[in-house]
Each structure stands twice: as C-alpha cells, then as structure tokens.
Structure 1
Amino acid sequence: MKPIVNLEGKVGLITGIANEKSISTGVAEACVEAGATIVISYQNEKTRAFIEPVINRLGVKDVYLMDVTQPETLSSVGSAIAERFGKLDFAVHSMAFAKRDDLHGRVVDTSPDGFALAMDVSTHSFVRMARMVEPLMEKAGGGSLITMTYLGSEKVIPNYGVMGLCKAALEAATRYLAAELGSKRIRVNAVSPGPLMTRAASGIAGFDGLMAAAVERSPMHALVTPEDIGALTAFLVSDAGRLVTGGVHYVDAGYNIMA
C-alpha cells in the first residue's frame, strides 16, 4: 500500500502494543510504511512474548522495557534513544488501566487507591512521557506527541466508569502540554478512535453492543480499524501536520457527532 505521508528520516517511539490487533500495531505499521524508524516499548517479559510477531514482521531493531509505574524504566528508554539516535521526532502514548471493579462499577464508589492507580497509568504517564521526550524532540528541532483517548471522556459510556474521568483528564493534559511545549515546536494531540475490539476493550462489559451501535448510528456505518487509526496518526506526526496541535481528532466514521 502506498504511504499516505512521508516519515523518512524520522524516529518514533511507539508504546502500548499488546498483540497483532492493537491500536498501536496499526500505528506502527503506518509509520514504518511511511519510512520512519520506530522504537517499540513493552511492559514486561510476558507482553514481550505476545508482541514478538509484530517486532519481527516490521523488522524493528530497538525494543525496550518500559513500565510507566517504574520511573527508572522511562529514564532508561530515554537514555537508550539518546545514545542510539540522538533525537526523537515523535512518540505515541497508548496505555490505560483501571481495576475491573472501578471500570464497571459506579464512579461514586471508586476507591481512592483505584482512582489514583487509574489516573497514574492512564493519564499522568502521558505527562511523564512528555517530560522524558522533551529534550530528545528539542534536539530534533521539534516533534509530535500523540495519545489515544475515547468518546467516554465527554459522554457517559456504560461500563466505562472511572476511565471516562481519566480520558477527560488526558484530553485536558493534551491541551496544557501543547501550550507549554509549542514554543519548542513540539506538537501534542489526542486521537479518539471509535470502538474496536482490542485486548483492552475485551474487558469492558457490553462492548459488542457499543460496536454494533457505532455501525448503526455513525454516518458512514462502519467500524474503525487499527489501519485507519495508524493513517491519521502518521499524518499528525508528519510534517504535513506541522501546525496541528492541542486537539482531539476523531477517527470513528462520524459517530461522535450523532446525538
């Protein structure tokens, strides 16, 4: 398939790949097809085994452990990228977590520790990643930072619970980071896909119904794919998106506009 944009000479960090069907897999594929050199992170050795087919198929040489609950691993990845490439042109943050009871239960019943954990992994990790990549993107003369959000940030989605609050905070963080880093020519954007079946989505009760509703109610009557998300992300991190920053960009066949 002919690349939509040109990312030749660019180096990007991709997080959140869990398996072949992950959102981040589609992003990684699109970026590699457009000519980028990518670095992939994994959470632990168990997840490394699941993503090995993606690593091998895309020919990725730089794969590093990065667990956002362990700050030293972020520093290690930053140091490795600096030593290997001397810069970073883009980074994709695609990670979220909440305890099952907090995800499916009432927000009003969320435990303090469950709330803190969900916000730490799903939202503040994006802030920590921005701090880690900032000097690397400065060396590149600017860069692009992308995070993945969802419509549950602004609409009440059944069984989405505390994650809706996390995504709302994540989108606010996108705006603030864009304002703070813009003078360094670092762009910060959020991509908001429609519902699609990933490993993370499989933990949400009734998710099949959300996908069916997306097909029925969206203007284009279609489900988004990882390839669709990858195409939009590749555009945003490319020079074609050089003045696009601070926004939430939907790729959902128009589902978000429907009442």
Structure 2
Amino acid sequence: MATLYLLPNWFFIYSVIFEIIFALITGFVAFYAFRVYLLCKQNESKLLSMGFAFISASYVLWAVVNLSLIDRLSDGIAAVELSNIISLGMIGVYTHIFLFIIGLLTVTYTNLKVNNAKVFSLLFILSVLALFMTESKGSAYYVLATLFFGYIAATHLTSYIKNRNSKSLIILVAFALLFVSHIYFIFAARSYIYYVIGHSISLAGYILILFGLILIIKNEQKKKSPRSNKRYSSSHK
C-alpha cells in the first residue's frame, strides 16, 4: 500500500486553496520567465518558463484529485493511497506526478548550464525508472523532488556566493524553502502535520521565486530603456 499523504478534514479546503494558489503562482512564474526570455533571448529562460508551466499544470491536477476526496473525509483524515488510485482518477494522479517531475527536471536542467539533449534524456529516463520501478511510488516521488530542489538550491548558493546580490539571495532562499518543504512531504504518509507544514513552506518559496523574477524583469527593462542607453552612451563619450 503506497500512501502519498494523509489529509486532515480541517485542512481539506485549505489544501485545495493552496494548490490553486501554487498553480497560479507557478503559472505567473512561467509567464514572467518567458518575458525574461523575450527581453534577453536566453534559452535558459525559455526552458525555465516551460518547466514552471508543467509544474503549474500539475498543481491544477493535484487540486482536482483532492476535490475528488470530498466524500472520504467523514473519518477526519483521508489517506491518499495509490492502491485506491482508481477512485481518485488513475490518469489524474499519475499525470500530476509526471508533469511535476518533468517540470522540475526541466528547471534543474537549466541549472546544469549545459545544452545537451542527451543529458536531459538521461535524467528523464532515470527519473521515470526511479518512480515506476519501486513499490513505494509516493515516497520515490517526494524523494526525487527533494533531490532536484536540493540541487537547484545548491547551485543558487554557489551563484549567491559569487554575486552577493539581493536577487540571488531571494532565489536561493526560495529554492531552499522548497527543498525543506519536500523533506516534510516525504513524511506526509506518516502524519498529516508534515503535509500541512510542507504546504505552508512551499507557499513562501513560490512567492519568493515570483518576487525574484519580477525584480529580474524590472532590472532587464531598465537596461533596455532609452534613458539607460543614453546614460550609458554619455558615460562613454
């Protein structure tokens, strides 16, 4: 029996609201990342946009899955188990997991600073094998997500040490929070409190990512504004 998480009755509506908020925030992140791509024409920004678009879609499905649990909350706590996946919508749950992992994998790939389809394909194949060749798919899903977030946080830590600017710090803290939140999700099958804490920390992380991207866009727009170009030209006369 592979339990994804325990969902308490009192947190049910909040859980769905959180997931809708996550979907909206990650959708906005995808939009702003694409705007950065239009400004800078960097392939990394385009991939980042695609990654967060997948993650946003996965949260929409997660909200739908939890809504399907409404008739199972009479006992106070619902155990979301893969053995009962048919009642929840097999396609919905597995599609949520697939979209989230492919999205997170894409975001991780942008942090590798390589442009090699073979590297991406290898990471994708290894991720799929890790998910579907284990009996405890729920644990494998959260462990895999934790590893990806941990790697992303580590790369941004390196970037912050080199640059020491506020934007780098914001993104570092954001991914560090998402890393910590998914550590809690690993234990969400044991107690619902981990599921609740994980959601709360994830919300803070995604808000910081959105805030950081908005700052990056404003900075790029200033660089490309006519006034900034005039100042640059006058300073080099």
More helix by share: 2
| Bigger fraction of residues in strand | 1
TM more than 0.5: no
TM-score, normalising length: structure 1: 0.29
